[in-house]
Amino acid sequence: MNKDVDRQKSDHEQHAEASTGLRLLHTGDEEKRSEIIPLQLLPVDELVPLSQSLITPALARFFNLNVQHCPSRQQSFGNNAGRKSEQRLQFHYVEQLDQIRHLQEEDGAQNADLSEDFHVNQALDDLFRSQIIASGCGAVKDGDVARLAGTKRLQTDAELLNTFGALHASDGSSTHEHAVEEFGMTQSVLERENSSNSGDGATGSSGCGAGGSSGARTLKRPRLVWTPQLHKRFVDAVSQLGIKNAVPKTIMQLMNVEGLTRENVASHLQKYRLYLRRVQQGNPFSSCSNSSTTKSILTELEHTHHPNALMRVHISTAGTRPDTFFSSALDTRPSNITMTSNGHHSHVNSLNGLSGSVNHLLPQHIPSLLLQPVSHQLSQPMAMVKPPPPFNISQQFEPRLYGVKRVNSPPIRTSASASSDTHLLENMSVMNHAETHITATASSPPRRALTLFPH
DNA sequence: CTACCAATAT
DNA sequence: CATATTGGTA
């Protein structure tokens, strides 16, 4: 059961954990391989009381937020309750972030200031969500946040990111890099408690019990969250390898993401394959499209088996629930995408200011993987495959990604020549919400949750 | 013994 | 759902 956990714990992770000091406690069999001292929660006094806003007044003001307190949440901060508290703390963040988001949405482009700071806001949002929330690191101190918000507004995303990175690093003796790595691993919510404390199962997935008195707690590695970035890497890897060689291990290596385990990939791959299968059967974008639509698209792809094959697709992304990670990260509100991957127009009407590189995300890789025997690329399996640069999670928060100002009404026209990287999120966005209509103008897109692999 | 992978669990 | 874990198998 835990054998893999033990076996696959990467050296990197160990290192990161050791130096970060943020790692969740590991005990039991973990000790076999590492002299890492089980690290528990941060000292109670370092945690922000839940009765207190997790967003400093400065930050709140910065975002025009009206932060209320959540006294009711203030609970025992006992050692054993630490985890739970942390989680609540995270939720608290979520709420506040949502608040921010909503405010922004409502204000829309109206408010120039907000609009202008959108990228910062967005970055903040995502950072918080994906790092604090997803990573399960609830240890953000007031001072840090304050520093983050700064007396003066942050000028650049980079600054924000750096600050944030430092924030994490500040917790332990870890370096920024390590912190980033740690979180970059996108380990998310601390799952799974140990046997002992069934306690108040109300909240469901409780955190990993703090070391408490008796050890014997085997903490599991937090769930990996397949962020668009990660997924992109994944898809790229698979594409390069071709179905034939696309096995977990290889993919993992190609992805070159620190801390990513084979299991992670295997699991994802499994799902991905299911997705591909679905698509193959003529049901790519589950959502609306009737098979006919889908089919024609596929047919075209089939006939061309070239990424840039001609295909005219009208994509309309449905509204989404603003509370999933993806929706957060991708910010996919109703949008329309009309593209012609023929190398021509790519019009995007979206709040994101998506751009033309949309073609990139269409089931493009599918034909190469399924519809065609993946010829060219496969000739030199590993040799020619160029592993992308090591995945530094900070990439996930590439400033550029948030550099787009949000514009509500006017459709944004962008050249399709933009680097694909820049539009990673956008791509994923579409990918996730994609609903294809060869014709229509999907007026009332059904609301549905985001999925990496629409079904 | 490792890695795949489909099934199953959380 | 999305991921993790398991267990049979190559």
Q: Which pLDDT does position A116 carry in this prediction?
A: 31
DSSP state of A314: E
Give dist(CA A145, CA A167) in Å, integer.
8
A247 touches strand C (CB under 7 A): no
A223 touches strand B (CB under 7 A): no
- Measure, in angstroms, how far nucleotide B8 C1' is from residue A403 CA: 43
User: Please, what's the b/e burial string for A198-235 (b: 16 or more CB within 10 A of its CB; e: otherwise)?
Assistant: eeeeeeeebbbbbbbeeeebbbbbbbbbbbbbbbbbbb
What pLDDT is recorded for position A226? Answer: 93
Distance A305 CA to C10 C1' (A): 32
Strands (E), A163-250: none
Check residue A246 and give its pLDDT.
93
Q: Which residue has the tokens 């979520």?
A: A94
- CA at A370, C1' at B9: how many angstroms apart? 30
Task: Measure the CA–CA gap between A361 and A96, rounded to whole angstroms.
Answer: 32
B strand bases under 7 Å from protein CB: 3-8, 10
What residue has its CA nearest to the C1' of C6?
A1
Rounded-to-integer distance, Cα A25 and Cα A259, Å:
17
- Map tokens 């047919």 to a residue: A299
**Residue A311 CB closer than 7 angstroms to strand C?**
no
Question: Using CA atoms, how far apart are residues A308 and A343, in angstroms rounded to an integer?
Answer: 7
What per-residue confidence (pLDDT) applies to A262? Answer: 94
Q: So what's the pLDDT on residue A180? A: 34
How much is the pLDDT for A388? 64
Measure CA to C1' and name the residue nearest C5. Answer: A1
Q: Is the CB of A360 under 7 A from strand B?
A: no
Look up residue A156 and give its amino acid. T
Residue A247 beta carbon within 7 A of nucleic strand B: yes
Which residues face A312 on adjacent strands?
A340
Q: How far apart are CA A255 and CA A260, in angstroms?
A: 9
| Any strand B atom closer than 7 Å to A270 CB | yes
> Is-contact A448 A324, C-beta < 8 A?
no
Q: Is the CB atom of residue A244 positioned under 7 angstroms from any atom of strand B?
A: no
Residue A246: which nucleotide is closest by CA–C1'?
B4
Q: What pLDDT, in 10s, does the model give residues A135-193?
A: 333 323 222 332 333 222 222 233 333 323 222 222 222 223 333 333 333 333 333 33
Of all nucleotides in the shown strands, which has a C1' nearest the CA of A286? C1
Burial (CB count within 10 angstroms: exposed 0-12, middle 13-18, buried 19+), residue A52: middle
Query: Given this model, what pLDDT does residue A444 score?
Result: 41
* Closest nucleotide to A245 by C1' from CA: B4
pLDDT of residue A242: 87
- Nearest-Å Rg of the Cα atoms of chain A is 22
Whole-number Å distance, CA A2 to C1' C6? 11
Cα A297 to Cα A301, A363, A413, distances in angstroms: 6, 9, 24
Question: Can you give the pLDDT at residue A266?
Answer: 96
Please list the ranges in chain A whose pLDDT falls under 70: 1-219, 283-389, 391-455
What's the CA A310/C1' B10 distance, rounded, in angstroms? 43
> Does residue A220 lie within 7 Å of nucleic acid chain C, judged by its CB?
yes
Is the CB of A243 within 7 Å of strand C? no
Per-position DSSP letters for A354-395, written without gaps between them: --GGGGGGSTTHHIIIIIS---GGGGSHHHH--PPSP--GGG
pLDDT score for A252: 92
Contact A279, A295 (CB under 8 A): no
Q: Cα A80 to chain center, whole Å?
A: 29
Instruction: List A346's β-bridge partners, or say none.
Output: A339
A270 touches strand C (CB under 7 A): yes
> According to the model, what pLDDT value does residue A387 have?
62
**pTM flag (> 0.85):** no
State which residue has its Cα closest to the C1' atom of C7.
Answer: A1
Q: Which nucleotide is nearest to A187 (CA to C1')?
A: C3
> CB–CB of A426/A420 below 8 Å?
no
Residue A268 to residue A247: CA distance in whole angstroms? 11
pLDDT at A280: 77
